[in-house]
Amino acid sequence: MLMGPKKLKSVSYAKYGYIFSIPFVLAFLIFTAYPIFYTAVIGFTDLKGLGKTDFKFLENPLQNFEAVWKNPSFQKSLENTAIIWICNFIPQILLALLLTAWFTNQRQKLKGQGAFKVLFYMPNIITAATVAILFNTLFAYPTGPVNDLFRLLGLSDGPVEFLRDKWTAKGIISFIQFWMWYGQTMIVLIAGVLGINPALFEAAEIDGATSRQVFFHITLPSLRTIMLFTLVTSLIGGMQMFDIPKLFLNGGPDSATLTVSVFIYNQAFSGSYLYNRAAAASMILFVIIAILSGILFYLLRDKDASKLRKEMRQLRKAQKAARRAEA
């Protein structure tokens, strides 16, 4: 009796994907999801005081949130955070785009690109504590390199207390943030440009397009997704700004560089140890970041793709209606 060909058993590798993802899921639940949930719960309680772990829920569940929102220091910290982020992000993205256009220009064939990229990225790998000490030394009073330079150039008659002026302090921290992160933004944008179809650039060169035309009509439109990613991640990082304002001037002078994260830290780990107020401030910051990120995603969405998806949904609905009518 002849035997038919044996059926080969299909092997599914999907289960291995689930197995390998278990460590990540567990780490996310333990170190991200649980702290967020616990922080949210604390915001509705009376938990405060060093070493205390017992708490009870407040009769007015929004009491901590209302107190934080009306707190002048919190309002000031929101304003400072927004100003410092805007003042460092605008020059950061402009310089990053300029360097991206420079490094990816095929006609220039720049030599030593690797060395330049490393140099521009270098500030990003320096620790915040080191940067804070460096700039404190540069702007030291009464004898610091910047003060000495001002006197040498005749720009001042005597030593200037740069770090005592509110707007100067804001400007210095904005510059530090810009200096530390423009290299990172440049690397991300260059990676985005390298992912663009080379045929587009070749066709533009054949048609006689200039470097400026190529950049503004091919490169920039193709970087829409990367620009959105850069903007959102910078927004999230900027709203959570902590290390430089804390280590450099500890939020001073006169709360001029007090950011939301520094405010939260001060509420939780100084004075009365108001963990409940700090938790409430953290959740308010979380909501603000979520809303602003959602607005950015909506404003910078691919409108053509959205329009196409809408037309496809309408077409499918029309086809279903036609089949029902035939039945």
Give per-residue pLDDT as tens, 62-93.
999 999 999 999 999 999 999 999 999 999 99
**CATH number for the domain including 256?**
1.10.3720.10
State residue 111's pLDDT score.
Answer: 79
Q: State the alpha helices, DSSP H only, in the chain.
A: 14-28, 34-42, 63-70, 72-103, 113-125, 128-138, 145-152, 166-194, 198-206, 211-214, 220-222, 224-239, 243-249, 260-269, 275-299, 303-326
- Please report whether residue 61 resides in a domain: no
Domain tally, the chain: 1
- Please report whether residue 275 resides in a domain: yes
Q: Which domain holds residue 109?
A: 71-303
State residue 259's pLDDT score.
Answer: 93
Could you say which residues of the chain have pLDDT below 50?
1
- Please report whether residue 131 resides in a domain: yes
124-152 pLDDT tens trace: 898 889 999 999 999 988 888 998 888 88
Question: What is the rounded end-to-end Cα distance, in angstroms, of the chain?
Answer: 50
State residue 87's pLDDT score.
Answer: 94
Q: How far apart are CA 44 and CA 62, in angstroms?
A: 7
State residue 10's pLDDT score.
Answer: 62
- Please report whether residue 25 resides in a domain: no
- Please report whether residue 9 resides in a domain: no
* Cα–Cα distance list, 222 to 64, 79, 80, 184, 191 (Å): 45, 33, 33, 19, 12
- Please report whether residue 175 resides in a domain: yes
Q: How far apart are CA 47 and CA 64, in angstroms?
A: 11
pTM equals: 0.83
- Please report whether residue 147 resides in a domain: yes
- Please report whether residue 156 resides in a domain: yes
Kindly state the tokens that stand for 47: 């938990």
Q: How far apart are CA 269 and CA 191, in angstroms?
A: 41
State residue 8's pLDDT score.
Answer: 55
State residue 3's pLDDT score.
Answer: 55
State residue 27's pLDDT score.
Answer: 94
